[in-house]
């Protein structure tokens, strides 16, 4: 069973994604965000529990910092975690 590849129909994948997007509440939000961003559950819980810094990016606090990119995306970053 380990060496086999199972192909599924496009409708199967579409149905499963639709079911994920139809979930309500916190679990629905978490699963949709994970599906769209590719973040793991622990990473999603980490950013959910951290506060966002109001001073902008580059300071040395333990809060998350928003970094705007040229393509219109916003990245949450924790400078202290990256320096360790």
Q: Where are the domains of the chain?
A: 1-49, 50-84
Q: Are 30 and 39 in contact (CB under 8 A)?
A: no
Residue 79 has pLDDT above 50, yes or no: no
Among 31, 38, 37, which residue's Cα sits nearest to residue 17?
Answer: 31
Residue 53 has pLDDT above 50, yes or no: yes
pLDDT digits (tens, 9 = 90+) for 17-47: 899 899 998 888 888 888 888 888 888 888 7
Give the pLDDT band (50/70/90) at residue 1: low
Instruction: Kindly state the percentage of the chain with pLDDT values over 70.
Output: 74
Residue 68 has pLDDT above 80, yes or no: no
Backbone angles phi, psi at 59, to 5 degrees: -80, 175
Residue 76: strand pairing partners? 66
Residue 82 has pLDDT above 50, yes or no: no
Output the CA–CA distances (angstroms, integers) from residue 49 to 34, 41, 42, 64, in the order listed: 16, 12, 11, 10
């Amino acid at each position: 069973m380990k060496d086999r590849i199972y192909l599924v129909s496009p409708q199967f994948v579409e149905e499963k994604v639709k079911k994920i997007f139809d979930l309500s509440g916190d679990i629905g939000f978490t699963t949709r965000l994970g599906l769209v961003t590719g973040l793991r559950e622990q990473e999603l819980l980490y950013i959910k529990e951290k506060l966002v810094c109001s001073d902008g990016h580059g300071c040395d606090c333990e809060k998350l910092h928003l970094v705007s990119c040229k393509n219109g995306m916003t990245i949450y970053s924790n400078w202290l975690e990256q320096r360790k």
